[in-house]
Amino acid sequence: MIEIRDLHKKFGALHVLKGIDLEVQKGEVLSVIGASGSGKSTLLYCINGLEPIHQGRVVVDGTDVHAKGTDVNKLRQKLGMVFQQWNSFPHLTVLENVALAPRIVRGLSMAEARDVAAKQLGHVGLGDKLNSYPNALSGGQQQRLAIARALAMEPDYMLFDEATSALDPELVGEVLDTMRLLAEEGMTMICVTHEMGFARDVSDRVAFFHQGTMEEIGPPAQIFGDAQSEHTRRFLANVR
């Protein structure tokens, strides 16, 4: 379980997150929507400790992420992350991209790491690209590579930071399909997204962020059909 209590985050004078309280249960798919600059992406960075926080607590399976003695590198193995810019490592083949972290972080042997990597790449439909370099892949393929890379750490949670925003429109579908597949397999996911269709069809709950606060959270039917907040209704009217 991921438990967030009274989370505050500032960038200089900018107060990006103003007291977030949120719980995500095992097996749940949560979509986070809202305008750019509303703090949704920062929330993900605070969950896996890539950004320090100023107040509050983030607890993952009983471990306080930002506590002094926490081994964040160990913790991050539990928390797979996929970025808006897919960040393939350009100097490694597709297979090496995925096999590197299992080998040097989880300590698998070269052969084991390659097996794990090949399996995950097959899972996201890149089984025939193992020895290509990322620059030979389309954006959609590179984003699926990023998903396989995160999955190869066998994480308990997956964090998606606008995974489809940087893609050409015709490539969005293949990545969303992969994410949908993961959700069906029971992965716990937090998806910051601008894809309202995905949020409505796949998530168990949808959270709407507005200027650093979580304005509203509830099942998709409630958020998309019967939003309580004026801000939520206005945002949804604009994106559709």
Partner 1 sequence: MFDYNFHWRPVLKSLPDLIEAGMVTLQVAVLAMACGIVIGLGLALIRLHMRGPLRWFASAWVELARNTPALFQLFFFGFGLGAFGWHLSPYTIVLAGLTFNCAGYLAENFRGGFQAVPDTQIRAARSLGMTSVQTYLRIVIPQVLRIVYHPITNQMVWAVLMSSLGMMVGFRELSGETQFFASRSFRIFEYFAVTAVIYYAIVKIILGASRLMALRLFRY
> Given the complex with partner 1, which of 79 and 223 has the nearer CB atom?
79
Q: Does 109 bind partner 1 (CB under 8 A)?
A: no
> Given the complex with partner 1, which of 158 and 227 has the nearer CB atom?
158
Among 35, 59, 105, 196, binds partner 1 (CB under 8 A): 105
Q: Does 196 bind partner 1 (CB under 8 A)?
A: no
Q: Which stretch binds partner 1 (CB under 8 A): 79-87, 114-122, 212-220, 231-239?
A: 79-87
Q: Does 76 bind partner 1 (CB under 8 A)?
A: yes
Enumerate residues 134-173 that contact partner 1 by CB under 8 A: 134-135, 146, 149-150, 153
Among 21, 74, 184, 230, binds partner 1 (CB under 8 A): 74
DSSP 108: -
Q: Does 63 bind partner 1 (CB under 8 A)?
A: no
Q: Which helix (H) or strand (E) holds 3?
A: strand 2-11
SS3 103: helix
> Given the complex with partner 1, which of 62 and 90 has the nearer CB atom?
90
| Min dist. Cβ of residue 230 to partner 1 (A) | 35
What is the CB neighbour count within 10 angstroms for residue 217? 16
> Given the complex with partner 1, which of 100 and 196 has the nearer CB atom?
100
| Min dist. Cβ of residue 185 to partner 1 (A) | 20
Enumerate residues 201-220 that contact partner 1 by CB under 8 A: none
3-state SS string for 156-215: CEEEEECCCCCCCHHHHHHHHHHHHHHHHCCCEEEEECCCHHHHHHHCCEEEEEECCEEE
Extract the tokens encoding 83. 């970025």
Could you please report the per-residue DSSP string of 55-72? Answer: EEEEEETTEETTSTT--H
Q: Does 69 bind partner 1 (CB under 8 A)?
A: no
- Find out whether 175 and 139 touch, Cβ atoms under 8 Å: no
- Find out whether 198 and 181 touch, Cβ atoms under 8 Å: no
Relative orientation angle of helices 139-151 and 110-123, to the nearest 10 degrees: 130
Measured CA to CA, the distance from residue 31 to residue 234 in angstroms comes to 18
SS3 153: coil
Q: Which stretch binds partner 1 (CB under 8 A): 68-76, 111-119, 179-187, 215-223?
A: 68-76
> Given the complex with partner 1, which of 142 and 193 has the nearer CB atom?
142
Binding residues for partner 1, rule: CB under 8 A, are: 48, 50, 73-77, 79-81, 83, 85, 87, 89-91, 100-101, 104-106, 133-135, 146, 149-150, 153
